[in-house]
Copies of this chain bind each other. A is one copy, B any other.
Amino acid sequence: MLTIDADRLWQSLMDLARIGATPKGGVRRITLTEEDRRGRDQFVAWCREAGLAVEVDRIGNIFGRRAGTDPAALPVAMGSHLDSQPSGGKFDGAYGVMAGLEVVRTLNDAGVRTRAPVEVAAWTNEEGSRFVPTMMGSGVYAGVYELEYALAQKDVEGVSVREALAATGYAGPAAPHKLGAYFETHIEQGPVLEHTKTTIGVVLGALGQRWFDLAITGQDSHAGPTPMETRKDALLAASRLVVEVNRIATTFPDYARGTVGFMQVKPNSRNVVPGEVRMTVDLRNAKDATLTAMVEELKRCLARIAAECRVEAKLDEVVYFPPSEFAPELVASVREGAKGFGYSHRDIVSGAAHDAVYMARIAPTAMVFVPCEGGISHNEIENARAEDIAAGCNVLLHAVVQRAGAL
């Protein structure tokens, strides 16, 4: 059974992590900065060493292609992103790109030829920490965003994506090409695999997300003289809604999640009944119909609470991101790969979005998750075990070879 070189993969990850390395062992390689350019240059050099044909498209996505034997076959791509959070880790994104490179190196070493071409992709600006929106490169590639729209986005210093691409030398000429399949390996960025002592997460899809801003307006009043029955307590209404969001997320099916992460109280004084609260609501679900039902239940609860607490509530939807279901045949080959290598595995749904979510709109897509320490990501202490990193890459190798057709 063909297997990847675990040490080589780990070494590539560690070598890449030296570019933008932080004192605490993390990585600061913000998109389209000098550090990102150096990371890209390193990746391109490794692609060329592996004999891949490199092309760069107009939003700076990089593709390294290993030719197949059938000129008509659409390429099977693997990838993720090389940019990091401002205080990011060594694995988020980098793992998916380095795993793709390791698959190609393994095919080279074993002299395996595939019917379809095999590609390694590095998508521009997945993190969105310098330029919004997040997942910009894959979003443009998948037609979610217009190229011109993306190029015109500016960072806080007024530098546009177009200017930053030109400065790094990664404003390429290539137009998007069709893909036969897309695979992405990624650390879970959550606690489930570690908690259940599972090596491989077979990712069924990604949760849909609906994000809301909520403003609740009651009336300030003195905590002493104001009887309970005449109060218009915005914080009481907000708190009741937090409890309902939690109830909705724990009682609805299909991997429902609900979070109030932000809350601001005014005037925020110990002995004044709060007259105003601003807060957010983040609802997620694997099925769009269930997500819609959660939103409807949220609105019903909010209307009832507002009436009972005598407050005004204004709910604005700020993000809608539909659930994505990955391609069943690719998901099955990931699961079979894990079984074949004897890895413990479980089906899982990605709570966060990844480039794969956009790629799923234009090609059959699947993802492989591996555990990360404490479920922690977007942090310099992000960590993963070398044997899990290798296992995920072996599963990727299996799925890619199956899809691309080994001769």
Q: Which residues of A come within 8 Å of B, CB atoms? A: 188-192, 195, 207, 209, 211, 221-230, 233, 235-236, 238-240, 242-243, 246, 249-250, 255-265, 268-274, 280, 282, 284, 350-353, 375, 377-378
Report whether B190 and A351 are in contact in the complex, using a CB–CB cutoff of 8 Å.
Answer: no
Residue in B226, B268, B351 whose beta carbon sits within 8 Å of that of A224 in the complex: B351
Residues of B within 8 A of A377 (CB): 222
Report whether B269 and A224 are in contact in the complex, using a CB–CB cutoff of 8 Å.
Answer: no
Indicate the member of A211, A221, A264, A377 with the most B CB atoms within 10 Å.
A221
Q: How far is the CA of A24 from the CA of B33 in the complex (A)?
A: 53
8 further contact pairs, Cβ within 8 A, besides A236-B243, A261-B271, A270-B282? A190-B225, A222-B352, A228-B256, A239-B239, A262-B268, A263-B265, A264-B268, A271-B282
Q: How far is the CA of A353 from the CA of B222 in the complex (A)?
A: 12
Q: A310 CB to closest chain B CB, in angstroms?
A: 13
**What number of copies of this chain does the assembly contain?**
2
Report whether B250 and A228 are in contact in the complex, using a CB–CB cutoff of 8 Å.
Answer: yes
Q: How far is the CA of A188 from the CA of B225 in the complex (A)?
A: 8
- A238-B239, A377-B222 are known contacts. Are A249 and B228 too (CB-CB below 8 A)? yes
Q: Which residue of B lies closest to A280 (CB)?
A: B270
Report whether A192 and B225 are in contact in the complex, using a CB–CB cutoff of 8 Å.
Answer: yes
- A236-B242, A238-B239, A246-B233 are known contacts. Are A375 and B257 too (CB-CB below 8 A)? no
The secondary-structure label for the interface of chain A is mixed
Residues of B within 8 A of A272 (CB): 259, 261
Residues of B within 8 A of A211 (CB): 270-271
Report whether A191 and B282 are in contact in the complex, using a CB–CB cutoff of 8 Å.
Answer: no
Residues of B within 8 A of A273 (CB): 259, 261
Q: How far is the CA of A272 from the CA of B263 in the complex (A)?
A: 12
Q: How far is the CA of A271 from the CA of B283 in the complex (A)?
A: 10
Residues of B within 8 A of A235 (CB): 242, 260-261, 263
Q: How far is the CA of A353 from the CA of B378 in the complex (A)?
A: 49
